[in-house]
Structure 1
Amino acid sequence: MKNGYTIKEISLALNLSRNTVSKVLRNKPGVSAKTYNMVMDYLSAKEVTKDSASTVPVKEQVRGSIVLSYHLENTEYLNNIVANIEKVLKSNGYTLFLNIIRNDYHSDIPIPISIYEGSVCGIISFNVFDKHYWEEIISLKIPAVFIDTFCNPYYFSGRTDIITAESSGPIYRLATRFIVERGKTSFGYVGDREFCYSTYQRWGTLKSVLEEYKLVLKDENCILFNQMNENFDLYAYFKDTISKMHKPPEVFFCSSDIYAIQVSRALQELGFRIPADVSVVGFDNTSETMRQLPTITTIDAHSDYLGRISAQKLIERMNHPEKPYEFLLCQSDIVLRDSTDL
């Protein structure tokens, strides 16, 4: 079986429309679980190419193939990263292949055969945090850029290029304003503290700023968990957990917009007013936050820029392999909306 498939080939093989297949590969909504699983099961080689008809043709001769290996999440944040990586690589004459890491891989994450065969000249990895996987890719001596890293950033710093969103600054500024300007003293955190470096920054910074003002981030005010299964009912879980709290905190910091949206919904169903009773802050600045009532205050990690800079850094690494490895923190910005009263 060959390693790559186009949208046309997949649609013909499965008797699906190209639009449906494209939605699955680009993680767009509007596809049933049955159809999604059908396409994923067909892609047994775990390497996917986008149909050339869906992208602007490259005018110059193709220089080589780049693999983007990422954990599959149906999020706008991921889509922006992928789209901008593709744009930069194609404009520089490179073909992009997608290596999708699905939720059912608990160990021995597969690395595309083409990487071992020597047909790949560079790798970008996003949202995959498995030490054996990282060690294997680094050992292959193929230029690689990793988007984000482990909560302990020293595992691989100095051994490969790492790019991530800078999360501490916006969290610090927001928490300080809540305390100084609004007199808030009760805070909670929602999410996985140790999923990756950027989420660990969010948790750690919130704790630090509270300690600076002699406050404590209490466990009973937090909803802490490992990354949820994609079929997990977040809303039901958040509503049940919040309902059991003696009193919700005055401010919930959420590690993602997905969590912030569901927390906001759960709070309102339980009779709490936002932001009069509880303020809610998300992270990622996805468009869905603007469609909520109230709209969600969030932090823009500039996923489009992360995609562009990761592709640019990979090209730079391929052209200058002798350069010192870089650990880049890309600025994130506060986006104030109606879920807070700042």
Structure 2
Amino acid sequence: MAKGKVTIQDIANALGISRNTASKALNGAESIPAETRNKVIQKAIELKYKQFAYVDTDSLMAKAPGNIALLTCNLPGVSHFGSLLLNGLESKISSEGYNLSIHMVREYEVDAMVLPKNFEASKVDGIICIEMFHKGYTELVCSLGIPTIFIDSTSEVFYTDLRADLILMENKHSTYKMTSRLIENGHTRLGFVGDYNHCKSFNERWAGFNRALADAKLELDPSVCVVDEDRLFFSEPDWMDKQLNKMGELPTAFVCANDFIAISLMKALKNRNVRIPEDVAVCGFDDSPESRIVDPHLTTSHIPNNQMGYIAADILLARVKDPARPYQITHVKTEPIFRESTGKLKE
């Protein structure tokens, strides 16, 4: 066939398709499947059709979308933090040409140290782990050799041992700031509520609370702290009431590991006719919608959830492109918000 004389009909005939289909494929019509478009472009290059005579094949071939797997022990859409985070993740990942699949990791799978049945490692380009707080299972995921990022992690993790990227909200300094403001305003007997071994974020909030006490030369009083296992906190409707009953004299302020724990605590305090903040001040963490509805409105720390999703996706996709890059531990800034549950505080 003479050079420069190749027609669309020639390409169509060579592939056994209609001229109309070949034409649409060459013009990038979305109605043409990627596989058909690839075959048409490949044949156009092979036959040296017009502008395809000297082009790079790879630059024109439609690439199949990559696959990112999200592993989680709790559906990320059931909480304010998780739903907004997932929005950011999905938006960024899809814009880069990847599909996102969600795989629930059941308790029995964690106990047996096995991956979900619908998870195929050979078909996954990258992994995102949310609400994965089991040390052994963390090590199992990392051993797959697939680019992975954890959004929060087990409290037992040592950064030097983690063969994955990790992104956390900034926990320690915001909790330190809230606790310090309470101390500066006359609170000298403070309690912490939350399982500081539940996850890395809770652990860092506990560390911020203790650092503020130490800097103010105040002793930690374990008798006014509720640090039982996280699974117990919502195990019974009156569980928090029982914990307060064990205390005797209450502290003048509580710092809680998150908003849901803080709101549960506030309910238990009201059951005892304790006034908030006149008798006891309360702080949470997360800036959940409930923190702005509960009476009184809850002092908390704001997390940029949606942006965290974008940042996590960026870090993971960079790892997919360059698996040898140094592992990254990232803290995203949070901001304390002082509301009515801590009363009027001087600066």
Q: TM-score range by the shorter chain?
A: 0.7 to 0.9
- Deviation of 1:303 after TM superposition, in Å, equals 2.0
Candidates 177, 181, 184, aligned match of 1:173: 177
- Structure 1 residue aligned with 2:24: none
What is the DSSP-based 3-state SS (H/G/I as helix, E as strand, rest coil) of the residue aligned with 1:288? helix
- Structure 1 residue aligned with 2:97: 93
What is the DSSP-based 3-state SS (H/G/I as helix, E as strand, rest coil) of the residue aligned with 1:228? helix
- Using a 3 Å threshold, how does the CA distance of structure 1 residues 212 and 231 change in structure 2: closer, same or farther? closer
Candidates 205, 218, 223, aligned match of 1:220: 223
Candidates 268, 293, 305, aligned match of 1:291: 293
Could you list the per-position Cα deviations for residues 76-123 of structure 1 after superposition, in whole angstroms to 9, with x for gaps in the alignment? 212222222111111111111111124565512442456545111110
- Structure 1 residue aligned with 2:144: 140
Amino acid at match of 1:192: D
Task: Give 1:101-140 correspondences, 5 Å limit.
Answer: 101-103=105-107, 107-113=111-117, 115-140=119-144
- Structure 2 residue aligned with 1:32: none
Amino acid at match of 1:284: D
Q: Could you tell me whether the CA contact under 8 Å between 2:103 and 2:119 is conserved in 1?
A: no
Candidates 162, 186, 191, aligned match of 1:188: 191
Could you list the per-position Cα deviations for residues 230-267 of structure 1 after superposition, in whole angstroms to 9, with x for gaps in the alignment? 9623x511112113322211111111111001111111
TM-score, reference length from structure 1: 0.77
Q: Could you tell me whether the CA contact under 8 Å between 1:192 and 1:224 is conserved in 2?
A: yes
Amino acid at match of 1:236: D
- Using a 3 Å threshold, how does the CA distance of structure 1 residues 315 and 94 change in structure 2: closer, same or farther? same
Amino acid at match of 1:228: R
Candidates 200, 204, 207, aligned match of 2:207: 204
- Deviation of 1:307 after TM superposition, in Å, equals 1.5
- Structure 2 residue aligned with 1:265: 267
Amino acid at match of 2:339: R
Q: Would you say 1:319 and 2:330 are equivalent positions?
A: no
- Structure 1 residue aligned with 2:85: 81
Distance 2:290 2:116 in 1: 33
- Structure 1 residue aligned with 2:282: 280
Q: Could you tell me whether the CA contact under 8 Å between 2:299 and 2:337 is conserved in 1?
A: yes
Distance 2:114 2:234 in 1: 23
Q: Could you tell me whether the CA contact under 8 Å between 2:167 and 2:331 is conserved in 1?
A: yes
Distance 1:243 1:178 in 2: 24
* Structure with greater helix share of residues: 2
Amino acid at match of 1:176: S
- Structure 2 residue aligned with 1:334: 336
Distance 1:334 1:68 in 2: 30
- Structure 2 residue aligned with 1:54: none
Distance 2:127 2:339 in 1: 37
Amino acid at match of 2:195: D
- Using a 3 Å threshold, how does the CA distance of structure 1 residues 236 and 70 change in structure 2: closer, same or farther? same
Distance 1:86 1:246 in 2: 48
What is the DSSP-based 3-state SS (H/G/I as helix, E as strand, rest coil) of the residue aligned with 1:323? coil
Could you list the per-position Cα deviations for residues 183-238 of structure 1 after superposition, in whole angstroms to 9, with x for gaps in the alignment? 110111111111122111111221121122121221110111112269623x5111
Q: Could you tell me whether the CA contact under 8 Å between 1:187 and 1:249 is conserved in 2?
A: yes
- Using a 3 Å threshold, how does the CA distance of structure 1 residues 232 and 214 change in structure 2: closer, same or farther? same
For this pair of structures, how many residues does the alignment match? 281
TM-score, reference length from structure 2: 0.76
Structure 1 segments, 4+ long, off by >6 Å, are none
- Using a 3 Å threshold, how does the CA distance of structure 1 residues 230 and 281 change in structure 2: closer, same or farther? closer
* Larger-gyration structure (1/2): 2
What is the DSSP-based 3-state SS (H/G/I as helix, E as strand, rest coil) of the residue aligned with 1:72? coil
Distance 1:315 1:193 in 2: 31
Gaps of 5+ in 1: 1-59
Could you list the per-position Cα deviations for residues 254-301 of structure 1 after superposition, in whole angstroms to 9, with x for gaps in the alignment? 111110011111111211111111111111111011111111111122
Gaps of 5+ in 2: 1-61
- Using a 3 Å threshold, how does the CA distance of structure 1 residues 105 and 294 change in structure 2: closer, same or farther? farther
Distance 2:227 2:138 in 1: 26
Q: What is the RMSD computed on CA atoms of the aligned residues?
A: 2.1
Task: Give 1:144-163 correspondences, 5 Å limit.
Answer: 144-154=148-158, 157=161, 159-163=163-167
